[in-house]
Structure formats: structure tokens, C-alpha cells
Chain A
């Protein structure tokens, strides 16, 4: 009869833990949204910041965050997915593979400020690009590759071997099997990896302070000359992101409404992450359904 009692205790424990967690998360999210509610308007979202006076917006920072996200994903998804495929499908068990895996794991727990300083050294100074969007994107790639690699590897490994065998038995090559069977079957896991990566890109500040920079030129959205510093297409302009801006406003903001700006920007950041997650999930599942025919 003891086992029944333990079963009850365990059940109660899990319910309590889950409830606490949910209550905590909901209160945190509602607090952030509540604090930032007054700033959730088009004007705040689109106008440039002001330094000494009331009423500045977060337009360029918001745009930079999204652009940085896209550029970073364009760089890091192919590399991370490729590395994951290599680790899962090609790497033979052995010393080299173990060293790679250990390195990936170590890298994934590296403090982001250290990655940021590495970025400063390599992508800002050595390349001579200065504080720039591309330096920030490459630094974030370094920061995110381990996670992307690890998640891709895990989700590819979780594809049952029977599917690979079926493909080989029909005369498929390894490449055909990977592209047509393995990666599609691993897609839900890979999407999760991309979402995790994207969340970190939106939220990262420390790694960007000295790479993408702490300033943003006023952007002119009708300027399509990639060489011009005010063009949104210019990857070599400084590109302060929302998370960096929140940190800056909080620590050294001179505007009288600095607190409100930080609150508003935090709420916007939270909503952005939420929207991106929902979008990525929806995109991923509709992609998966299209491939699997589960419509």
C-alpha cells in the first residue's frame, strides 16, 4: 500500500511545481506587459530615440533586432545544421568525434560576454569592420552554433534507423537519404533549435555591446544603397539592438522618461520573442505537414 501513497505524493508534487512555475511565469509576463503598456503604440515603435528629452522611440533598435536575427539565422542555420548532420550521420565514433563533441558542449556554456570580447577582437578589430551589424551577427553565430549543432544532432539521431534502411534498400545514396528522409523527419526538432537560437539573438546584450555596437545611425528606409551608413541594407553600420538599448537606457539613459522607455522596450522585446516563436512554430508545423501529408 506504500507504493500508492508514494504515487499520490509524487502526483501532488508535480502539480504543485507546475502550478508554481506557471503562476510565476504569468505574473512575470503580465508585470512586464503592464509596466510597458503606455508605450505600446505605433509612434514608440517607429520613431528614433531621443537622448535628453521626453518622448523618444525605439524604431531603429527594433528594426536592428529583426535584421540581426535574420542575418544571424542565415549564417548560423546552414552551418549548425551542417555540423549536426556531420556529427549524426558521418562522424565515426572515436577520439576526434569526442573532442568535437566536448568542444561544442564547452562552447555552449561559455559566458556571452566572453564571446562578445572574442567578437570584438576578431570581427571588429582584426577585420577592420568596426562596430557593425555583420560583426554582431558573426558573434551571435559563434554564440549560437553549439546549441544549433547540438539540437540538430540530437533531432537527427532521434530519426529511427528503420527509415534510413528503407531508403538505402531502395537504392538511395546517403545524400538522398539525408535530404529526403532524415532531415524532413527531424524537422520539428530542428525548428525547436532555431527557436531557441532566435530567442537568444533577441535577448542577447552582452555579446553585442562591443560588436554590433551601442549606437544606431538614423535609418532612411528609402535608401537602398548598401554602402550608405543610413541605409538599412548596409551590414557594416553600427546596429544597436533592443536588448542592448534596454541595458543602455537603464544604466546611462539621460532622457527623463528613461525608465518608461526601458519598460516599454522590454514589453516590446517580450512580444517580439512571443510572435517569433508562434510564427516559427506555425511555419515549422505547416512545413512538416506539407511534407508528411498530415493535412
Chain B
């Protein structure tokens, strides 16, 4: 089943075209990795899926993005969309609040006030983000006291607490050490049972390890998209092969 379908998507920052005629679809409960050199539009692309680009002045978007067949720019309310499509950023960005309040932030803004319900959601989300055992004794300490890797898993837990359907991850491990990276990768592996995940990465091995599908971006275009094995071992396009084998980028 197609969770997300993108059709003929163009995006302009003022006069600069950052995405050119992108056509891409994402299977439900799979992991799609977006690879490509810096500045090729990967981050810009995932930010069109939860309309984060709306926040940037002078962005113009043509084309359609469908979530479960609904046009996210026309038929879905942006608040509702961001509830359904969560996002984890490149640099861990926990709020300067307690661990608990970070995770409870989403449910609270969506109107959940019941203490018991909140406690349950916080525990469930932290467990799902494989962080519960490390923080259960300091839920009411500042999130900024956690290590970088823990902070990033906290951000994942915070996203999960809103109960999204899709999770976008923008180079979630690029600021982390190898052990934290491994934990996040294991987590992605688990999460895909329940969620559809799109992950931007600069790390070829990571794309190979965690993803079912891979899309290769170059200068704002999708050069190739397909099952990860095929894109990695049997690329159809010469440019994909050059990039994967490390000839550029």
C-alpha cells in the first residue's frame, strides 16, 4: 500500500529551483532512505512532506503530495498533517524542559490533560524509543543533561508520543557517536513495524543497513529509486553507481 505519493513536485526558494519534478512513492511500514550529496534537496524534500517549508519565506511549491491519497497541501489541515507526519531533526533539539515534559509536550498541546494518560504515553514512548531504562529515574531532570545520543532518542520519543503514522528523519545520526548511531539504527529497524519511515542520510552503510528502499537525489532531481539492494548492487543509472562507489559526493 502506498502511504505517501509525490507527483511532479517542484520547489523554488525565490528564483532558485531546489526540487525538480520529483516523483516518488513510499510503501506503508517500510524504510525509505534518501541519499545524495550535500545540497541536493533531500532535506528540502522531506520538509515538503510535513509542510515545514511553509515556515520559510519565499518558498513556492508546485505538484502534489498525497498522504493516504489526500493532498496535504489542499485537503489536510497543517496541524493535523504534522500530527500524522512526525519529524526528527539532524541536531538533537530537546526543549529546555524536563525529560517528562519533552515527551508530554505533544500530547499536551493536542489537549490531553489527564495525568494518568500522560504518564502512560510518556512511558510508552520512551520505551518505544529504547530510552526508558536510561531515564526512568530522572524523568524530572532537565533533558539537556542527557547525552547527545540520549537526546536524539528523546526527540524520537517526543515524536512517537503524538502517535504519528509517518516519521521523517533528517540525518538523525550525523551528530552522534558510533554507539549512539547503532542504537538509533536498531530503533529504526523496530519502528518500521508500526510506522512508515523516511530517513535522509549521508552514510551509505547506514542506508544499506536500515532501509528497504533507497532514492538517490542529485541537484534536486530523483535519479533513481528502488529497493535498496537493487540501487546499491545493480544501479540502473551511471551517476548512482558513481555516487555509491564513492567516485563523487
Which residues of A are at the interface with B, using a C-beta cutoff of 8 A?
Answer: 92, 160, 162-173, 176, 180-181, 184-185, 291-295
The residue in chain A whose Cβ has the minimal distance to the Cβ of B81 is: A171
Whether A168 contacts B55 by the Cβ 8 Å rule is yes
CB of B2 within 8 A of chain A?
A: no
Tally B residues with Cβ within 8 Å of A: 36
- What is the 8 Å Cβ interface bit string for chain B, positions 159-181, against chain A (1 contact, 0 not)? 10010000000000000000000
Whether A293 contacts B140 by the Cβ 8 Å rule is yes
**Chain B residue contacts of A170, Cβ below 8 A:** 82-83, 86, 105-106, 109, 158-159, 162
- What is the 8 Å Cβ interface bit string for chain B, positions 68-100, against chain A (1 contact, 0 not)? 000000000001111100110101011111111
Q: How far is the CA of A165 from the CA of B95 in the complex (A)?
A: 11
The residue in chain A whose Cβ has the minimal distance to the Cβ of B57 is: A92
**Chain A residue contacts of B159, Cβ below 8 A:** 169-170
- What is the 8 Å Cβ interface bit string for chain B, positions 138-150, against chain A (1 contact, 0 not)? 0011111100000
CB of B110 within 8 A of chain A?
A: yes
A169-B50, A184-B97 given; name 18 further pairs at CB < 8 Å. A162-B91, A163-B95, A165-B52, A165-B93, A166-B95, A168-B82, A169-B86, A169-B89, A170-B82, A170-B158, A181-B95, A291-B96, A292-B98, A292-B142, A293-B97, A293-B99, A294-B144, A295-B140
Q: How far is the CA of A170 from the CA of B50 in the complex (A)?
A: 10
CB distance from B148 to the nearest CB of A (A): 14
Closest 10 CB pairs of A and B: A293-B98, A162-B93, A169-B87, A171-B82, A171-B83, A170-B106, A293-B142, A294-B142, A292-B96, A166-B93
Q: How far is the CA of A92 from the CA of B56 in the complex (A)?
A: 12
Q: How far is the CA of A169 from the CA of B55 in the complex (A)?
A: 11
Q: Could you write out 26 A-B pairs with CB less than 8 Å apart?
A: A165-B89, A165-B93, A166-B89, A166-B95, A167-B95, A168-B82, A169-B82, A169-B87, A170-B82, A170-B86, A170-B159, A171-B83, A171-B109, A171-B162, A173-B109, A184-B97, A185-B96, A292-B97, A292-B98, A293-B99, A293-B101, A293-B141, A293-B142, A294-B141, A295-B140, A295-B141
